[in-house]
Amino acid sequence: MPFVLKQSALLAVLALVLLTSSFQHKAAPRFWSYTVDTKKASIRTYFKNSKGERIDNLLALKSHIEQGGKKMLFAMNCGMYSTSYTPVGLYIEEGRQLSSVRKCNTAKANFCLQPQGVFYVRTDGRAGIGTVQSFSAKGVRYATQSAPVVVQNGKMNPQLPKGLQLVRNGVGVRKDGTVVLALSRDYVNFHQFAQYFIDQGCVTAMYFDGNVSQAYYPGKATPNGAPFGAMVAVVQ
């Protein structure tokens, strides 16, 4: 009887050690990410072509860009869109505002989580992320609204819900202005998503969308032709 008790206790300890070890060595979520030096490559958003027709998907976007004599290095969906695929919230393309700011504050929709943000590219090519409240369209060539801002001043947004684990994509900006575009390869919650951008040295980061997210990344991520609203691409 005493030996049985000791043996049971030993087995319990070993089980606890193994369980703890599995948590400690659990692999970090995997991401496809593309780092953009805006001095060497252009980053911009796309929605419609010169005929006013929606570009529709990432593969069509690649063809559109190549027809213009340029190369698409990376692309993914950006912002959220309605059932008619029009951008939800602010959208600016080539300096023209095609959709207005939409302010809301409720935990019932990701787009309304606080703070709502705007990813923008200025006319000089510099990119940034600002809150809807602080954003100014002056000198902005491209912009897309989404939410929530997941990283502010290098720290995780304390208001983030953990939320469901989904494939998610978004954008981050480092202190030197370098842009990080990322799509999770694993299902992640908002905390894991934000932590990835912090680990990449981003001082600010914003969520684009989840569940439907895809990317074009030669040799790595291949889109399936699903339709999107606005998209963001790195072009050279």
pTM: 0.88
More confident residue, 62 or 22: 62
Domain contains 207:
yes
- Two tokens, residue 234: 């790195």
Strand runs (DSSP E) across the chain, as ranges?
A: 31-36, 42-46, 72-77, 91-93, 96-99, 117-122, 127-131, 140-146, 149-152, 155-156, 168-174, 179-184, 202-210, 215-216, 231-235
152: in domain: yes
Rounded CA separation 227/209 (Å): 14
Report yes or no on 209 lying in a domain: yes
- pLDDT tens digit sequence for 72-112: 999 999 989 999 999 999 999 999 999 999 999 999 999 99
* pLDDT score of 162: 87
Q: Is residue 181 one of the residues assigned to a domain?
A: yes
DSSP labels, 50-115: TTS-B--SHHHHHHHHHHTT--EEEEEE-S-B-TT-PBSS-EEETTEEEE-------TTSGGGSSS
- Total structural domains within the chain: 1
Mean pLDDT of 130-156: 97
Strand order in the sheet with 72-77: 42-46, 231-235, 72-77, 215-216
On whether the CB atoms of residues 150 and 200 are closer than 8 A, the answer is: no
Residue 109's domain spans which residues?
Answer: 28-235
Contact 120, 92 (CB under 8 A): yes
Write out pLDDT tens, residues 147-203.
999 999 999 999 999 879 999 999 999 999 999 999 999 999 999 999 999 999 999
- Average pLDDT taken over every residue of the chain: 90
166 domain residue, yes or no:
yes
215 is a domain residue: yes
In a domain, 10, yes or no: no
User: Is 6 within the bounds of a domain?
Assistant: no
